[in-house]
Amino acid sequence: MSKKAHMLPANGHRIQGMSSESFLDTSSILNELNLKGDEYFMDAGCGDGHIAIEALKLINQGKVFALDVYAPSVDDLIALKEKENLENLIPIQSDIAEHVDLDDDTLNVILMVNVFHGFKARRVIDEAIEELKRIIKPGGKIAIMDYKKQEVKNGPPYVVRSSPEEIEEFFNKHDLSMTYLNNEIGEDIPEGKSHFLIIFEKGA
């Protein structure tokens, strides 16, 4: 298989950037969140939506919001929702660093996989965190999974990567506290594991 073919999402949906479906295990990521099934859950920066689609299997009494700034990805999820009658899938097109079209305190859990480094590249970290904080309920969780800050062959450039400690500092500035860190998750690479997953909570 060519490298390009390997990067195309298996579900054929359009994506800007790279789907993590071929190199990260979606079920083990969702397992980290201990979902009960009645949450308002958001896959933020959902791309091809494979994580949101997997989350639908776990969330039978809540809703799964699949948000991306790239309209074609969202259009493909709207088409899937209509075709398969997925009532609790809610695709949304918005830029997290500007405005998400949801009321304050709407969500129980937000997951962002391989998205945070893009905020660093655009220098919109504070704007993005403030908007995530606005839409999460008090007591809700914001989970960030991203590439470890190391010089390795695959993934984004070193300069746009953040360590969990740096991310904790960014979130603490917005009064969001870290409640969980898994420093060893993701793909097995020669240097160890490729990713970390860190969770923050909005106080009640």
Ligand X SMILES: C[S@@+](CC[C@H](N)C(=O)[O-])C[C@H]1O[C@@H](n2cnc3c(N)ncnc32)[C@H](O)[C@@H]1O
Q: Which residues bind ligand X (CB under 6 A)?
A: 15-21, 45-47, 68-70, 73, 95-97, 113-115, 118
Nearest CA among 186, 169, 193 for reference residue 29: 186
User: Nearest distance from residue 38's CB to ligand X, in Å?
Assistant: 23
Report the distance separating Cα 134 and Cα 102, nearest Å.
9
Shortest spacing between CB 134 and ligand X, in angstroms: 14
Distance of closest approach, residue 204 Cβ to ligand X, in angstroms: 27
Output 69 or 178, the one with its CB closest to ligand X.
Answer: 69
The answer to whether 49 and 73 are in contact (CB under 8 A) is: yes
Partners of 1 in beta bridges: none
Handedness of CA 154, 157, 158, 160 (dihedral sign): negative
Which is nearer to ligand X, 85 or 103 (by Cβ)? 103
For residue 199, give the amino acid letter.
Answer: I
Please identify, using beta-carbon distances, which residue of 55 and 115 lies nearer to ligand X: 115
Residue number, 73 or 194, with CB nearest to ligand X: 73
